[in-house]
Structure 1
Amino acid sequence: MKRRGDDQARRGTGRDRSGGRGELMVVQGSACTRDAEAGARLKGRGKVRDRGYPSRLSWPAMSSRSRPPSVAGRHSSVAVLTALTSALAATSAWAASSPVSSEPDTSYLAGAVEPERVGLTLEQAQKLAAAHSPTTRAALAALRVARGARMREAGAFDPVLFGADERVSTDTPVSSPFEASKTRVRSLSGGASWVSPIGTSVNVSLARVRAETDAQFSTLPVERRARARLDVVQPLLRGFGLGATRGELRAADRELEAAQRNAEAASLDLGAAVENAYWELYAAERDQAAERLQRQRAAVFLRDQLIRARAGVVGPGAVATARTFMAAQEAQLLDARVRVGTASEALALVVGTQAGEADQRYHCLDDPPEAQAVEPLSALVKRALEANPSLRAAELDVAATRARARGAASRAWPTVEAFGGYGGSGLAGVGRQITFSGQTVGSDFDTGFGHAWDQVWGDDFPDWNLGLRVNMPLGWRADRGERQRQLGILEGALATRDARRLALLSAVRQAHLEAELSERQLQAMRDLVEAAREQARIANLEYRAGRSTAYDVVVVEAELREAQFRESQALVRAARAATELRRLTTPVFRRTP
């Protein structure tokens, strides 16, 4: 009987088979402790060892060796009945007074009002970004700047036509009969100038002048003059050669090509950014849906605990555990809603336009594509080095700076120029005879400009010049300093190209590794989710059967939520790896305005 009483007491104070960790028996144990203490005081014996934990009730502990067995058994029965009555009364009073009687909302949305969503496919997001993104407009603006700079430099070698029409009227007082008091002059001039690819400057000019005078002793009161001339200037040191004359033009050509490659790179970067933001929103929405289901499961679990508590099957510990789990899921659901809003705003920032009203946000309509077979790393690296527009733009920047450096080196010399010119003149007009000192001078005639031009083309009155001029600044610091500056810019461009090349190779290798492992990682995450879901189902069944506790169910549910979150991250990582490989290795040939 003594051993059986000990076993019954041990089973009574042990683990609760209905699902709690002895929560109900904690209350009963407290009541039993109080009754046992009262009995010990009446006997003058007995000592309560710990008021915080249930005492083990056994037959030897409740009996007194100094009394007869019948008296000790009677007192033990009274104590046990008193303890059970007190425990049931305390449990009923706690269930009536505590807030556990209010059941949670077990619906999917739980009363939350979802903002209006604007469905968007990935293709639509790409089109919106191409039309509205500031990044695209900035790249096109840089391309326009480069095109304008190239046009300006090329315009320096375009032939230039010039012309002038001038009238001059002069009235002056005279003090001699040989002077003219009135002079009327009209001149027409024109020509063309051009700079050759080797720096030769050519200037061709034609002019005709008609002059009238009232001088009394002028035999040609109306003059018609014609003139033609060719002038040539050829640099011999500074400014001689294609490197000197067309260095800026060549640099502008390379910069224009670099701007085109940068525009292509901006298009690829924008497309990759849109895809990444789109899949981030997809993962955030997927996590939010999982969190809603998890919160709903937590609400159902709390409701079950409340029902079991009202029935007296579990105590406040199990209900508190369920409430803690419910509060944690509520907080995680709020975090998921914040992440969805942040991801939607990030997508709106990339595409360059909001979803609509202030309370609207984007919603993903597409699912991530299935993982494709990954090419060998050597093939991807080769194609990236050949076709990556960002690396190509860096190489073109190097070519542009090298052209400027060569031009600066050719200008770091003294100015030595050979110049010369050849021309002719002709004269016609209205002549008259005058008498001076008894002699008749001049003749009467009237010839036009045609006669004057005949004299010019007939080389009747030629003129020419030829020379050499030298210009050497003392100190020679300006040109040498410009040469050093351009060499420094060239070194910086080379370093930038090498850094971009290394970064490209590293990015290709990393993206290739992620793409290779993403399929297996995604499959592993899917298997993990299935296993965690099955584990949660079994844990709930075992809890209902009394073979596990509420804490075990909460732990398993948390593991399921973590597995679902990791699966979403694996989906995004796989999509990002594929997008990154396309961005790094795919050339873009697009026609830009």
Structure 2
Amino acid sequence: MNICFSRCRTFFLVPLVAFFSLVQAAHSQEPKAIGWSLAEAVETALLSNLGLQLKRHEVQQAEGTAQAAQGSFSPLLSAEVGATGLQRTPASVAEAETEQTTVWQAGISKRFTPGTEIDLSLSNNTFDSDTDLLLFDPVYRSGWTLGITQPLLRGRGEDAQTADLEAARRALEAQTFLVDDEAAALAAQVKNAYWELVFAHRNLEVLQLSLVLAQRLKEETAARIETGSLATIDIFQPESEVAVREQELISGQQLIGSAEDRLKLLTNTSDWQTPLQPTEYPDVRPVRPDLATVMEKALANRPDLKAAALQIQAAAWRLKRAENERLPALDLYGLAGLGGTADSFGRAVDNTWGDTDHQWQIGLRFSHPLDSSLADGNYRQAAAVHARSRTSLEMMKQEVRRLARSTVRDIELALKTIEAAKKTTLARQKSLDAEQAKFEAGRSTTLDVLIAQQHYSQALTAEHRAHVSYAQILADLDRLQGIISLPKR
């Protein structure tokens, strides 16, 4: 019956260790741990993570840039009010000694996408002088002026005029996709951190079990020494092993703390005192994704690839603008105006539409720098940015293909590792039971039992690591495809 008990008791050690942990927690002065599911951790991070908030701020900045580019086509309202006075010594009888002028004018101008600029203005002014040569004094003038300018080379056409706006819009859309990409990356990081915390807790349970096994062997060794079946020096080996495993237990507790800190940092928590207790264990049901399907989904759906494609479009628009800036400026301009002059403001306004006062102007305006280094340099920069953006996208696609192949391969290997680890654990457990039975029959040493215990503990740890690694690879698979998947609560 003793042999049967020694072979079977390892099956009951895990519950005993768990009970021992609960008793310790009940008497601990630390705050009560918060139970956290994987979905809660990911959702909290998506709401609170500071890195994701920075990406959202970049979207707001891009929105401002696009709004500013749109503003170049907004109507511009202008107005002016002023007065001028002059007093001088006349040089002739026809020259006035004093002059006073007042002016107020208002106008509105707008640029349209073909490059056409229209300026409509209303002006009114008065002139008062002590000269006797004026027909009436003061003189009131009022008039309307309409001016039009149309670029014929530089700045001509909708592409040239809207290049900055279209580039800003593409950049804004790209930033929006980059937020989605940051969210997908964050979700994968949180999942990996969560599973690391799960592993740290399971590893601590294994270390506690290892310590219990060593303590039991120490007690059994001490009992055999008392009965005279073992020498006194045989107690030193299990005693030293108990001390070693106590140190390992401390390291296991440190591992939990580090894993908690990582998870709390990703979720931007304000509570750094309360421990976290994961409530889930990895689901190790086999998932065997098809490489071609994974690669196709990743290339089609990853937000960072979509953002890179939009950045190429933005660079292409900037290249168009830089190419247009290399052309000479040749503008067709025209102006037409009506006016009225009278001895009162009211009559001047009335005469605006009936008098013969009018003006017109038409012509061509040309300019081009003798040294085109500035425009040529800007064009070369824009061309380089456009080419670099295209190359960068191709590099990203190649990396996605490599990651897809690597991740699918790692999933298959992880499943094999889980099966191997499970078999190894079972074999190590049976080996430990056998070694324990031999020890009780006097056919094995304490060192042999301790070695068997260590192998069993290592096998348990390796099995937990295999489960966690599999779950982390599945999280990387989601990240590879640019998606966020959450387990059902």
Normalised by the length of structure 2, the TM-score is 0.87
The structure-2 alpha-carbon separation of the partners of 1:363 and 1:111, relative to structure 1 and needing over 3 Å to count, comes to closer
**Greater RCO (CA < 8 Å, at least 6 residues apart):** 2
The residue matched to 1:167 in structure 2 has which SS? strand
The residue matched to 1:420 in structure 2 has which SS? strand
The one of 532, 555, 565 equivalent to 2:428 is: 532
Contact 2:284 2:467 in 1 (8 A): no
The residue matched to 2:190 in structure 1 has which SS? helix
The residue matched to 1:207 in structure 2 has which SS? strand
The residue matched to 1:325 in structure 2 has which SS? helix
Please state how far the C-alpha of 1:379 moved relative to its aligned partner: 1.7
Contact 2:340 2:349 in 1 (8 A): no
- Percent sequence identity is 23
Which residue of structure 2 lines up, in the alignment, with residue 423 of structure 1? 337
Which residue of structure 2 lines up, in the alignment, with residue 453 of structure 1? 352
Which residue of structure 2 lines up, in the alignment, with residue 340 of structure 1? 256
Q: Write out aligned runs for 1:91-106 (5 A).
A: none
Aligned partners of 1:371 and 1:194: how far apart in 2?
65
Which residue of structure 2 lines up, in the alignment, with residue 261 of structure 1? 177
How many pairs were matched up? 464
The one of 187, 208, 233 equivalent to 2:149 is: 233
Please state how far the C-alpha of 1:171 moved relative to its aligned partner: 4.6
The one of 111, 134, 138 equivalent to 2:50 is: 134
Please state how far the C-alpha of 1:118 moved relative to its aligned partner: 3.0
Which residue of structure 2 lines up, in the alignment, with residue 494 of structure 1? 390
**1:65-102, Cα deviation, whole Å (9 max, x unpaired):** xxxxxxxxxxxxxxxxxxxxxxxxxxxxxxxxxxxxxx
Aligned partners of 2:243 and 2:427: how far apart in 1?
25
Which residue of structure 1 lines up, in the alignment, with residue 6 of structure 2? none
Q: Which has the larger radius of gyration?
A: 1
Please state how far the C-alpha of 1:277 moved relative to its aligned partner: 0.5
Which residue of structure 2 lines up, in the alignment, with residue 103 of structure 1? none
Q: Write out aligned runs for 1:153-552 (5 A).
A: 153-172=69-88, 174=90, 178-357=94-273, 360-371=274-285, 373-430=287-344, 448-455=347-354, 460-552=356-448
Aligned partners of 1:475 and 1:193: how far apart in 2?
32
Counterpart of 1:401 in structure 2: which amino acid? A
Contact 1:355 1:362 in 2 (8 A): no
The range that moved more, 163-172 or 339-348, is 163-172
The range that moved more, 299-308 or 446-455, is 446-455
Counterpart of 1:419 in structure 2: which amino acid? Y
Which residue of structure 2 lines up, in the alignment, with residue 579 of structure 1? 475
The structure-2 alpha-carbon separation of the partners of 1:447 and 1:553, relative to structure 1 and needing over 3 Å to count, comes to closer
Contact 1:225 1:452 in 2 (8 A): no
Aligned partners of 2:217 and 2:270: how far apart in 1?
40
Please state how far the C-alpha of 1:172 moved relative to its aligned partner: 4.6
Contact 2:315 2:385 in 1 (8 A): yes
The residue matched to 1:454 in structure 2 has which SS? coil
The range that moved more, 395-404 or 171-180, is 171-180
**1:381-413, Cα deviation, whole Å (9 max, x unpaired):** 111111100111111111111211121111112
**1:176-206, Cα deviation, whole Å (9 max, x unpaired):** 6644444443323122212222222222222
Which residue of structure 1 lines up, in the alignment, with residue 12 of structure 2? none
**1:351-383, Cα deviation, whole Å (9 max, x unpaired):** 1125343xx432212222343644422222111
**1:125-149, Cα deviation, whole Å (9 max, x unpaired):** 2233233321111101111111111
The structure-2 alpha-carbon separation of the partners of 1:111 and 1:219, relative to structure 1 and needing over 3 Å to count, comes to closer
The residue matched to 1:474 in structure 2 has which SS? coil
The range that moved more, 404-413 or 215-224, is 215-224
Aligned partners of 1:273 and 1:585: how far apart in 2?
15
- 1:567 partnered with 2:463: yes
Aligned partners of 1:306 and 1:213: how far apart in 2?
126
The structure-2 alpha-carbon separation of the partners of 1:447 and 1:366, relative to structure 1 and needing over 3 Å to count, comes to closer
Counterpart of 1:534 in structure 2: which amino acid? K
Aligned partners of 1:260 and 1:484: how far apart in 2?
28
Aligned partners of 2:157 and 2:53: how far apart in 1?
39
Contact 1:108 1:292 in 2 (8 A): no
The structure-2 alpha-carbon separation of the partners of 1:375 and 1:455, relative to structure 1 and needing over 3 Å to count, comes to farther
Unaligned runs of 5+ in 1: 1-106, 431-445
**1:217-275, Cα deviation, whole Å (9 max, x unpaired):** 53211322122222222222222233322222111111101100001111111111111
Please state how far the C-alpha of 1:485 moved relative to its aligned partner: 1.1
Aligned partners of 2:339 and 2:134: how far apart in 1?
20
The one of 146, 155, 159 equivalent to 2:62 is: 146
Which residue of structure 1 lines up, in the alignment, with residue 11 of structure 2? none
Which residue of structure 2 lines up, in the alignment, with residue 556 of structure 1? 452
Please state how far the C-alpha of 1:501 moved relative to its aligned partner: 1.2
Which residue of structure 2 lines up, in the alignment, with residue 63 of structure 1? none
Counterpart of 1:577 in structure 2: which amino acid? I
Aligned partners of 2:259 and 2:120: how far apart in 1?
68
Aligned partners of 2:204 and 2:42: how far apart in 1?
25
Aligned partners of 1:273 and 1:523: how far apart in 2?
26
The structure-2 alpha-carbon separation of the partners of 1:369 and 1:429, relative to structure 1 and needing over 3 Å to count, comes to farther
Contact 1:345 1:361 in 2 (8 A): no
Aligned partners of 1:169 and 1:368: how far apart in 2?
88
The structure-2 alpha-carbon separation of the partners of 1:588 and 1:351, relative to structure 1 and needing over 3 Å to count, comes to closer
RMSD of aligned C-alpha atoms? Answer: 2.6
Counterpart of 1:380 in structure 2: which amino acid? V
Aligned partners of 1:174 and 1:427: how far apart in 2?
26
Counterpart of 1:328 in structure 2: which amino acid? V
